Amino acid sequence: MPSSIPATVSTRRPWYGVLYIQVLIAIALGVVVGYFFPHLGTAMKPLGDGFIQLIKMMIAPVIFCTVVHGIGSMGDLKKVGRVGIKTLVYFELVSTFALVIGLLVGELVQPGKGFNIDAATLDPKAVSGYVTRAHEDSFVGHLLAIIPNSFFDALARGDLLQVLLVAILCGFAISRMGALGEKIGGAIDAAGRLFFRIIGMIVRVAPIGAFGAMAFTVGAYGVAALWNLAELVLTFYATAILFVLLVLGTIARVAGFSILRFIAYIKDELLIVLGTSSSETVLPHMIQKMERLGASKAVVGLVIPTGYSFNLDGTNIYMTLATLFLAQATNTPLGLGQELTILAIAMLTSKGASGVTGAGFVTLAATLAIIPDIPIQALAILVGIDKFMSECRALTNLIGNGVATVVISRLEGELDVDELHATMAHPFEIGEALERAPV
């Protein structure tokens, strides 16, 4: 762990040079441009798309290098399996809790009550694309899709689970190659440092990407859509905040840190996600920050990429809450047995979704496609506001994966507690110092 962090904290740059300040200003400007000049805001879309693509092109090599070097240097292969099992069990428990919370809140608040929407009057073409993708995304299909067509196809396509599979196999192979494996591992670690340095350069243009994405969102969808379904939007955001503060906050407290200080530590990443609606844009940075927080490199390399497909707390809350909303809005009665069925189906369909914008909507479509009681064309009600809700999904997912990384590291006895406490004591300052520090 870098020992120079405390010394770096005292060196401050002008407020306008701090990344999270720049991103905040960019988001505000994007909202203004999108609201007052919607056509111009819509035209800003390439700025957001370009930034996301720049980050995405680096995700596959970063994950590959991080996981391969982490497993290759771990030595004990049984430990890799143990970490993997603990990670998946933790993900399943917390994800199920998120699904249940969404179901309970939807039943208590009933945000769809009183809409009295006739599903026959809705345009099925508005959701046809999502429904088609949902039918294609079966559970067995997800499992088979983890296997790439070739070794290099996984890296070329950038599929997180495919890259993770290839990296784990390479890590196992290197750990069995003795001295030669150590040399290969060292070369891969050096390549990883190169990729992280490139990402550090790309992140500098995050304010431009956030501005373009936010201007497009407000310009294309407008804030009027929010007023029509304000209760659902507010209910979802409030539920996500309570989940983070109470559920993840309790888990964090047991693990020895404050959830609020942790949020302050990853503030830059959260603001970038808020601006771009995609948690993938900060995946490489999260790997770095979790390592600097005191988590071991091997655990970080396994937990973070896996969490992007199997630990989507925000998406899970959204799925059950939105499903009940649509049932209530279309006056579709649901009994306890049907709600438990929704919960069971959502536990399956939520697996394999990624942090890409719109994935939550596709998994919701997949859930409704299996449940005949709720008319699937009712999804058209949510099309106009899904873009606004995707920010909350991505933010909750990101915080959940960060907390999971610290917890698994602590369970494995591979958490530098002193480093964790030192960072949590000054989360704003150290987060800013790490953002400037060389890789």
49 within some domain: yes
pLDDT for the residue 357 = 47
The residue written with tokens 């035209």 in the block is 43
pLDDT for the residue 10 = 46
With a cut of 70, which residues of the chain have pLDDT below it? 1-13, 15-16, 74-77, 119-143, 224-226, 228, 349-362, 370, 372, 384, 429-439
139 within some domain: yes
Beta bridge partners of 415: 295
266/264 Cα distance (integer angstroms): 6
Q: Which of 204, 275, 230, 195 is nearest to 25 (CA)?
A: 275
Q: Which of 31, 38, 355, 389 is nearest to 210 (CA)?
A: 31
Q: What is the dihedral of CA 428, 429, 432, 433, to 10 degrees?
A: -150
Neighbours of 71 (CB within 10 A): 27
Give 344's contacts (C-beta < 8 A, 6+ positions apart).
Answer: none
400/398 Cα distance (integer angstroms): 5
337 within some domain: yes
197 within some domain: yes
88 within some domain: yes
8 within some domain: no
181 within some domain: yes
- Give 297-336 pLDDT, tens digit per residue: 888 888 888 888 788 898 889 988 988 988 888 888 888 8
202/200 Cα distance (integer angstroms): 6
**Burial class of residue 81 (count of CB atoms within 10 Å of its CB; 0-12, 13-18, 19+):** exposed
Measured on CA atoms in the order 5, 427, 198, 414, is the torsion positive or negative? positive
Instruction: Look at the chain and count its residues.
Output: 439
User: Amino acid identity, residue 339?
Assistant: E
pLDDT for the residue 224 = 67
5 within some domain: no
Q: What is the dihedral of CA 179, 185, 189, 190, to 10 degrees?
A: 60
pLDDT for the residue 7 = 44
Range of the domain at 248: 14-436
Please compute, for residue 39, the number of CA atoms within 13 A of its CA located in the half-sphere on the CB side.
Answer: 0
Number of domains in the chain: 1
pLDDT for the residue 356 = 44
pLDDT for the residue 137 = 53
Neighbours of 17 (CB within 10 A): 11
Is 62 within 8 Å of 155 (Cβ atoms)? no
Measured on CA atoms in the order 376, 381, 387, 391, is the torsion positive or negative? negative
pLDDT for the residue 2 = 44
Is 303 within 8 Å of 405 (Cβ atoms)? yes
**CATH, residue 36:** 1.10.3860.10
